[in-house]
Amino acid sequence: MQHTVVERELEIRLVLSPERSIPVPARLAYRSEDPFAVHVTFHITSEHPVEWTFARELLVEGVFRPCGNGDVRVWPTKVDGRAVVLMALSSPEGDALLQAPAAPVSAWLERTLRVVPPGTEAEQLGLDDALAQLLAR
C-alpha cells in the first residue's frame, strides 16, 4: 500500500498575553499510515523541536466550532479581523496557547481529507484485511 504524507510549514503565534505573542515556525504533517492523527511540530528550526499528535477530527471540527477537552482544545476566532484557529495545549511541562492562520490550516486539512476521506481511516490501517486473514486460519 502506498503511504502519503501531507505537510505544510507555516508560522504560528505563541500567545503570551492578550497583547503579546511571538512567532513560532511550525510544520503540520499528516501521514496516511497514521490516518486518525495529525502531527504538529513546533520550533522546526531548533535543536529540540516539540511535536504534538492529536486527532485529525479535532482539528477539522475546531476550524468551525470550539471542540476538545483535556490536553487539546481547538476553536476558531478572529484577531484584528483575520480568521484564526486557536489551539490550547496542556502537558505536564506546561500550557501553551497557539494561534494559527485559518486559511492555510483549512487548505492543508482539505488536502488530508482528499488523501484519506473521513470515515475511511480504518481501511488505511488494513485492519479488516488483517482480521479476515486471522479468522481464515
**Where residue 100 sits, what CATH number does that domain have?**
2.30.31.20
pLDDT tens-place values along the chain, 137 residues long: 578 999 999 999 999 998 899 999 999 999 999 999 999 998 867 788 889 999 999 999 999 999 998 899 999 999 989 999 999 999 888 899 999 999 999 999 999 999 999 888 888 776 566 666 777 77
Closest CA to 109 of 75, 64, 60, 66: 60
For 118-123, which contacts have Cβ atoms below 8 Å and span 24 or more sequence positions? Answer: 118/57, 118/60, 120/35, 121/35, 121/36, 122/35
Q: pTM of this prediction? A: 0.85
Number of domains in the chain: 1
Q: Which pLDDT score, from 0 to 100, does residue 114 have?
A: 94
Cα–Cα distance, 51 to 37 (Å, whole number): 12
- Domain hosting 88: range is 5-136
β-pair type (82-91, 94-101): antiparallel
Cα–Cα distance, 48 to 33 (Å, whole number): 25
Q: Which pLDDT score, from 0 to 100, does residue 129 have?
A: 64
